[in-house]
Structure 1
Amino acid sequence: MNTFTKRYHPPGTAPGTLVASDSAVPLSIRLITYTDTHYAERILSDPIDMVPWLDAEATTWIDVQGNVPPDVLQHLGQRLNLHDLALEDVLNTGQQAKLEDYDEQLFVVMHCPSLDASGALQLDQVSFFLAPGVLVSVYGQAQDLFEPVRERLRHHHGRLRRRGSDYLLYRLLDLVVDHGFPVLEHYGERLDALEDEVLAQPTQQTLACVHRIRRELLWLRRLAWPQREVLSQLLRGDCACITPETRLFLRDSHDHTTQILNLVESDREIIASLLDVYLSSVSHRLNESMRLLTIIATLFIPLTFVAGVYGMNFGNNTHGAWAMPELRWDYGYPMVWGVMIAIAAGMLYVFKRKKWL
């Protein structure tokens, strides 16, 4: 399972080196400028085209989606004075969530959880650059993550267009964090189904599914802890780009990450209990099989003794003092069968009374 799409430089590569990725997602660059009374959205083919549309009085959002070529990212960084190390981290995906302060700019790395067509967990890196009046978002997945936010901007819903770029960053961070709730809801449904399966008739496929969910929940836990730390750093007041009003809203996103962590821990406890139930169920089935075999063997012990006694070859001297009298009886053979059946029936009755069957 490739949870992360990881890309790293070879050892010894110079800092700030941008290396192209092999992603097949087409590049899309949206330039959005807005104020309380104005909204404009444009699709750009090159970062150079954004220069005439940059408005110092409006909030500018540059949303970059898909496979970003290094030259395009470099031009974007030159136009907006973005740090080379931050640009390198945009292309080197699969990192831990983090917050870096570059004087008047903030660089934030988050991860958005989602499920692919087979239901497997996918974690996609989302990078943000925040400066006064400007926000840049970069992500490589095909799904359009931020269309709900753009829709609210277009229709002037809420306070979004009356706030600055830091509030827009909060809305995008909150959207990324909230993607964890439907993923965890999916895992909750799968755990309920697995619980019924483990109690009814567990198989090797059940065990494999339990281990897969356990591994994916571990990835989610590793994702949520550093993201909560990022939001904690934004709440501390050390970042000049974040206004006190926006910090009040960031508390809500911080609470959401805490809820996600609590749900992950609860699901991990359920997974651990399912593993215990599975092992107990397998052990119980083995014990049931051994008990049945023991009962069968116990039934045949006296029957084998009787058959062994009357199977001795003493037929040459049937009239001696110590000869078996049953050998001369007309009903000796059915009598032996009757005794053996009576013994077996009596033992089965005793086993049933003791609830061993």
Structure 2
Amino acid sequence: MKIRLVQNGVFTAVDDISETQIPPTDGFYWIDADVDDLVVLQPLFGIHDLAVEDCLTEEEQRPKLEVYESHYFLVINSIRFDDEEIFLRALNIFLGRHYLITVTRQKINELRAIKPVLWEQEVNTADRLMYHLVDLVVDNYFLVGDRIEARIEQLEENILMNTKKTHLNEIISLRSEILWLKKVLGPQRDVIAILNKKDLRLIDDQLQKYFVDIHENAVKIYETFETYRDLMANLREAYQSSVANRANEIMRVFTALTTIFMPLTFITGVYGMNFDYIPGMHDSYGSVILLIIMVGLGFGMFYFFRKKDWL
């Protein structure tokens, strides 16, 4: 657990957590904690039991905002895209009048990226820190969206150039991840809308208006992933069409080869019959002439099929 006194974007480490019980004359306290630290934090800050239970659960948390008497409890999901796999990590935020507590299970990049923002913006209140955190989390979805779009384009190019069976598994896997994300983005968009519209006394009225921009970005992200879902459906159709076309090409080649060998098979069948007299049977050059005729016939039919673009 890290305790910092933030004054105009400047951090000062605090060793004794009991100091956070008294509002500072300037700035606010930022406590960055793990879920295990809630045992200490709950009695000190009067954190509601239901909020603690939500933080401790190992299941994926639905984004939400809970308003309690002395603090707010906000849950939003940070996104990561590592090794072609998407991860969501819950960021639990407790907002008080003079403090902000962030509780996470895993490391979240936005918590590290927020420090230069606080310095640059000279953040001096807890509600502004929460605003910048939410803004960073939402903006990161755009970066992940760009990588997903690039992956879709690469997959489309691979399918068109050389269709493989593994492409179908990639399509199904990516489509499932996109649908899963859409289920999260909807509630997260609605929560951010509440931060703008609901009367929240712990958030400054002027600052609250800025959540409109974050909400617009959240809506854009939701619509973007809706587009990705449609693209995946088109990609699956392209895969199936490519497989069908490839099968047709193979069948066309086989049909042409069968057609070429039909007259050759007829000739060998005639000369394989047990008759006493067959033209050229007793000629010393009969077999050579017959082979030349068969080879010429085969190449002639092959040339004819290529000219008609059947092969």
| 1:44-59 equivalences in 2 (<5 Å) | 44=15, 49-53=16-20, 54-59=22-27
Q: How does 1:35-50 map to 2 (within 5 A)?
A: 36=8, 39-42=10-13, 44=15, 49-50=16-17
CA root-mean-square deviation: 2.2
1:260 aligned residue? 221
SS at match of 1:179: helix
**1:29 corresponds to:** 2
Worse overlay, 118-127 or 334-343: 334-343
The residue number in structure 1 matching 2:94 is 129
The within-5 A match list for 1:195-206 is: 195-206=156-167
From 242, 245, 270, the counterpart of 2:206: 245
Unpaired runs of 5+ in structure 1? Answer: 1-27, 316-322
Unaligned runs of 5+ in 2: none
Gap change, CA 1:198 and 1:325, over 3 Å in 2: closer
CA displacement at 1:159 relative to structure 2: 5.5
Residue among 160, 183, 190 paired with 2:123: 160
- 8 Å CA contact retained: 1:31, 1:50: no
Measure, in 1, the Cα distance between the counterparts of 2:122 and 2:12: 19
Alpha-carbon distance in structure 1 between the residues aligned to 2:292 and 2:121: 91
Q: Which amino acid aligns with 1:42?
A: A
The residue number in structure 2 matching 1:270 is 231
Tell me the residue number matched to 2:71.
Answer: 105
1:195 deviates by: 1.9
Report % sequence identity. Answer: 31
* 1:139 pairs with 2:100: no
Distance in 2 between residues matched to 1:112 and 1:259, nearest whole Å: 17
Amino acid aligned to 1:63: I
Deviation of the 1:56 alpha carbon: 4.6
Amino acid at match of 1:50: I
Q: Normalized against structure 2, the TM-score is what?
A: 0.90
Asked if residue 182 in structure 1 is aligned to residue 143 in structure 2, the reply is: yes
- Report the 3-state secondary structure (helix = DSSP H, G, I; strand = E; otherwise coil) of the residue aligned with 1:241: coil
Q: Which residue of 1 aligns with 2:261?
A: 300
Match of 1:62 among 22, 26, 30: 30
Q: Using the alignment, how far apart are the partners of 1:39 and 1:331 within structure 2?
A: 103
Residue-pair matches, total: 309
1:251 offset after TM fit, Å? 0.7
Question: Is 1:126–1:137's contact at 8 Å kept on the other side of the alignment?
Answer: yes
Report SS of the residue matched to 2:202. coil
Q: 1:229 aligns with which of 160, 168, 190?
A: 190
Does residue 1:333 correspond to 2:271, yes or no? no
SS across alignment from 1:142: coil
Task: Please give the alpha-carbon distance, in whole angstroms, between the structure 2 residues aligned to 1:88 and 1:328.
Answer: 99
Partners of 2:198 and 2:108 in 1: CA distance: 33
User: Equivalents in 1 of 2:188, 2:269: separation in Å?
Assistant: 77
In structure 1, the partner of 2:50 is: 85
Q: Deviations over 1:95-124 (max 9, x none)?
A: 1111111134211111100123x2321110
SS at match of 1:57: coil
Give the stretch that moved more between structures: 333-342 or 297-306: 333-342
Cα distance in structure 1, aligned partners of 2:108 and 2:70: 31
The answer (yes or no) to whether the contact 2:77–2:90 under 8 Å persists in 1 is yes
Please state which structure has a larger fraction of its residues in helix. Answer: 2
- Superposed displacement of residue 171, structure 1: 1.1
Distance 1:296 1:288 in 2: 12
Q: Is the 8 A contact 2:114 2:133 kept in 1?
A: yes
Query: Which amino acid in structure 2 is aligned with residue 130 of structure 1?
Result: L
2:169 maps to a residue whose letter is: A
In structure 2, do the counterparts of structure 1 residues 144 and 197 end up closer, same or farther at CA, with 3 Å as the change threshold?
closer
Contact 2:30 2:126 in 1 (8 A): no
Match of 1:319 in 2: none
Q: Which residue of 265, 274, 282 corresponds with 2:243?
A: 282
Q: Does structure 2 retain, via aligned residues, the 8 Å contact 1:65–1:140?
A: no
TM-score by length of 1: 0.79
Q: Which amino acid aligns with 1:61?
A: Y
- The corresponding residue for 1:148 is 113
Quick check: 2:78–2:108 contact (8 Å CA) kept in 1? no
